[in-house]
Amino acid sequence: MTGPLELEEFRTTVSQWCADHVPAGWRRAQTGASDDEFVAFQRAWFAELRGAGFAVPHWPAEWGGGMSAAQQVVLYSELAAHDAPRLVLAFVAIHHAAATLLAAGTDEQRRRHLPAILDGEIWVQGFSEPEAGSDLASLRTTARKEGDRYVVNGQKLWASGAMQADWCLLLARTDPAAPKRHGISYFLLDMRTPGIEVRPIRQATGESHFGEIFLTDVVIPASQLVGAENSGWQVAQQTLGAERGMTILELAERLGNAGFRWLVDACVRPVRGGGEGGRPIDDSLVADRLAAFETEITGLRALCRWLVERHEAGTAGPADPSIVKLYYSELLQRMMDFGAEVAGLAAHTELRKPASSGWESGAWVLDFIGSWEWTIPGGASEIQRTIIGERALGLPREPASGS
């Protein structure tokens, strides 16, 4: 329990820390940065945060976290207010990998990996496949048991950060005869294992955040199975939504601070290169939409805080993570579209956006195109609406083939 006074003190501490430690001019330095520069910067920033105890606040105290939800809200809102860089490279490691290990991993697995993550171990998620996108449970990568090891063959797609990863959270089919959600197992895969090939995928923005992972007779020791054999789908379901409240809260704080600030700035400055030279804000339609966005961001931020509180109190609804993910991603998309529209032709000359930033960087056209990186992965908006309809409202499932 953290009282309001302690929280205010904590806010002051974090605010001062940010003023002292957020690297000046990092956005410029990260714009057009090489992969190596990006990785080096991410590692350095992670180490800074770790030194302050801010890298993994959501982990249990025994593993180096232990911050209350209320403190985490303060931490993320201050980092956003000071426009600190985001932890992009470590994201899967500190959220998905850690949540999986804590919820379903063995003591041995936790001891092996949680401290390593704090030392910079990078993780990637090997879930999606060419034939298993929204219908993830139909994945085809196989893991054949041979004695005390599994032999894996298949292909993974849309693996964010695959090129830098040390380890992979892998879903593979261990029982081809079982109904599709009951024949999947969850593995920890060392990316240095022979038989793994990673190829970057160039995405619509021109960058390569994602990779394809080809797996040919890749051997995984049985000790690296997470949870029971064939219970991988259940493990994944358990841990996928768990982190969503706080991760979206962080993104919502960023959208509400720097993101909205830049949008307002774009509206109150005369349009660069525009023929008429007026300010967008003088158009009442622009002012109206700006106010509508501010209202929606305020609602989103409150919704995230509410979800985090409910999650901590154990009263979260089954579709709460879907509601915030859906709303955040679509609001982001609409706001970036608006930014691109308001900024006009000048926004088309911003050919690169800074790495290590949030999803809104002020390079509006690229930000808008990049926003599909939120509405498609992690359960596309259509899937989220189905989850909300079925799990929150209790509407009947669509008759489907297989389950």
Partner 1 sequence: MNAADSADIRDELREVARDLLAKTGRNAAADWRLIADAGWLGLEVPAALDGAGATFAEVAVILEELGRAAAPGPYLGAVVLGIGTLRLVESSQARDELLRSCTAGTTIAAAAVTAAARDTAAESLPFRLDRCAGGLRLHGRAAFVPDAAQAGRLLLFALDPEGAPIVVDAEPGAPGLDVAEQPVLDATRRLGLVTADNVAVAETSLRRFAGDPRAAVRQLLGRAAVALACDSLGLSEAMLDATVAYARLREQFGRPIGSFQAVKHACADMLVQISVGRQLVSAAATKLAGDEPGASVAASMAKSYACSAAVQVAGAAMQLHGGVGYTWESGIHVYLKRALLDRALFGSPAAHRRRLAERYGAAPGLRTWTGR
Active site residues: 243
Please name which of 153, 309, 154, 171 lies closest in space to residue 229, comparing C-alpha atoms.
171
- Minimum distance from residue 191 beta carbon to partner 1 (Å): 37
344 binds partner 1 (CB under 8 A): no
165 binds partner 1 (CB under 8 A): no
Please name which of 352, 299, 357 lies closest in space to residue 330, comparing C-alpha atoms.
299
Query: Which range of residues in 104-112, 117-125, 155-163, 319-327 is near partner 1 by CB under 8 A?
Result: 319-327
Q: Compose the 359-388 pattern: x for residues touching partner 1 by CB under 8 A, - for all others.
A: -----------------------x-xxx-x
Query: Please, which of residues 286-315 interact with partner 1 by CB under 8 A?
Result: 287-288, 290-292, 294-296, 298-300, 302-303, 306
- Minimum distance from residue 222 beta carbon to partner 1 (Å): 41
Using a 10 angstrom Cβ sphere, with 0-12 exposed, 13-18 middle and 19 or more buried, the burial of residue 275 is exposed
Residues 6+ apart with CB under 8 A from 255: 297, 300, 328, 331, 332, 335, 358, 359, 360
- Minimum distance from residue 75 beta carbon to partner 1 (Å): 12
Please name which of 144, 195, 192, 147 lies closest in space to residue 168, comparing C-alpha atoms.
192
d(CA 314, CA 366): 39
Nearer to partner 1 by Cβ, of 120 and 133: the residue is 133
Nearer to partner 1 by Cβ, of 26 and 262: the residue is 262
Please name which of 207, 112, 106 lies closest in space to residue 167, comparing C-alpha atoms.
112
d(CA 291, CA 287): 6
d(CA 301, CA 374): 17
Sole binder of partner 1 in the list 326, 335, 347, 355 (CB under 8 A)? 326
d(CA 282, CA 285): 9
d(CA 44, CA 48): 6
103 binds partner 1 (CB under 8 A): no
323 binds partner 1 (CB under 8 A): yes
399 binds partner 1 (CB under 8 A): yes
For residue 10, give the H/E element and its range. Answer: helix 4-21
- Minimum distance from residue 138 beta carbon to partner 1 (Å): 18
DSSP symbols for 369-391: HHTHHHHSSSS-HHHHHHHIIII
Nearer to partner 1 by Cβ, of 194 and 399: the residue is 399
Nearer to partner 1 by Cβ, of 57 and 211: the residue is 57
Nearer to partner 1 by Cβ, of 165 and 331: the residue is 331
Query: Which range of residues in 158-166, 285-293, 343-351, 371-379 is near partner 1 by CB under 8 A?
Result: 285-293
63-68 — which CB contacts under 8 Å span 24+ positions?
Answer: 63/98, 63/102, 63/110, 63/114, 63/115, 64/114, 64/115, 64/118, 68/1, 68/2, 68/312
Query: Which range of residues in 166-174, 179-187, 233-241, 253-261 is near partner 1 by CB under 8 A?
Result: 253-261
261 binds partner 1 (CB under 8 A): yes
SS3 sequence of 208-234: CCEEEEEEEEEEEEHHHEECCCCEHHH
Nearer to partner 1 by Cβ, of 21 and 261: the residue is 261
Nearer to partner 1 by Cβ, of 172 and 331: the residue is 331
Sole binder of partner 1 in the list 33, 67, 78, 168 (CB under 8 A)? 78
Q: Where on the chain is the footprint of partner 1 (CB under 8 A)?
A: 11, 77-78, 81, 256-257, 260-261, 264-265, 267-269, 281, 284, 287-288, 290-292, 294-296, 298-300, 302-303, 306, 323, 326-327, 382, 384-386, 388-390, 392-399
